[in-house]
């Protein structure tokens, strides 16, 4: 059983601090998700709204259209369910070394907190699975080199989306293993991402934010050290 040195970190409507992200990156705090009925209803409104638009055959960017400059390309309704998988598959082209464990935990925490604001159209089940990844230390293997900036950390975050879906590889209990195998060991069913969910996971700056939080912590330490030395 893990012994935590800090107070639990609750993901939900309230903001997190840089210190929260850094504590989680070192596995020093339990990870909780806001669980009151009002909060869950707020999260559920997003997917319901998307379903309403789809029922009306409305045009929804990244759901019934392509992405970026391809937004003028319509996606037939019978292919809408397949679009999320194609999105994270297309971006799975990272290179270089893998992010270290602390950085990967920070990425998961930053992405979870962003989605917890209830404006991304994702299900509470996706939030719970991200929380479970942190709690059980299931870490997607994310290459350091890939698209970062502008419209989001698309390539590195595709590895988060894919592993939530039981694809690609994760670090679990010190070993590189297939995400599908780890899901089975933990008794989880891999998520089948709904329309908009892959876009919500990938089109953000969670990697930049996470690495900036860790960099801030190192800079703060060096500042204190330099002050004491002088």
Question: Active-site residue numbers?
Answer: 61
Q: Nearest-CA neighbor of 61 among 195, 206, 201? A: 195
Strand-strand pairing, 9-11 and 31-33: parallel
Distance CA 113, CA 156 (A): 17
Strands (DSSP E) found in 15-149: 31-33, 95-98, 139-140, 143-145
10 Å CB burial of residue 216 (0-12, 13-18, 19+) is middle
Distance CA 122, CA 33 (A): 15
């Amino acid at each position: 059983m893990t012994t935590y040195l800090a107070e639990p970190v609750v993901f939900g409507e309230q903001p997190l601090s840089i210190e929260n992200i850094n504590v989680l990156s070192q596995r020093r705090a339990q990870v909780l998700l806001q669980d009151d009925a009002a909060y869950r209803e707020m999260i559920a409104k997003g997917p319901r709204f998307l379903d309403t638009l789809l029922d009306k055959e409305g045009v929804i960017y990244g759901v019934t259209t392509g992405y970026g400059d391809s937004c003028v390309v319509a996606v037939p309704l019978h292919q809408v369910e397949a679009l999320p998988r194609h999105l994270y598959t297309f971006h799975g082209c990272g290179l270089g070394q893998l992010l270290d464990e602390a950085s990967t935990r920070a990425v998961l925490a930053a992405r979870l907190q962003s989605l917890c604001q209830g404006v991304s159209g994702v299900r509470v089940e996706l939030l719970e699975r991200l929380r479970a990844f942190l709690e059980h230390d299931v870490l997607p293997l994310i290459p350091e080199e890939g698209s970062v900036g502008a419209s989001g950390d698309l390539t590195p975050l595709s590895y988060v989306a894919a592993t939530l879906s039981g694809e690609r590889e994760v670090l679990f209990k010190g070993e590189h293993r297939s995400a599908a195998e780890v899901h089975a060991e933990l008794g989880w069913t891999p998520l089948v991402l709904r329309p908009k969910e892959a876009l919500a996971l990938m089109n953000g700056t969670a990697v930049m934010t996470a690495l900036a939080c860790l960099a801030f912590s190192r800079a703060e330490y060096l500042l204190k050290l330099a002050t004491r030395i002088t």
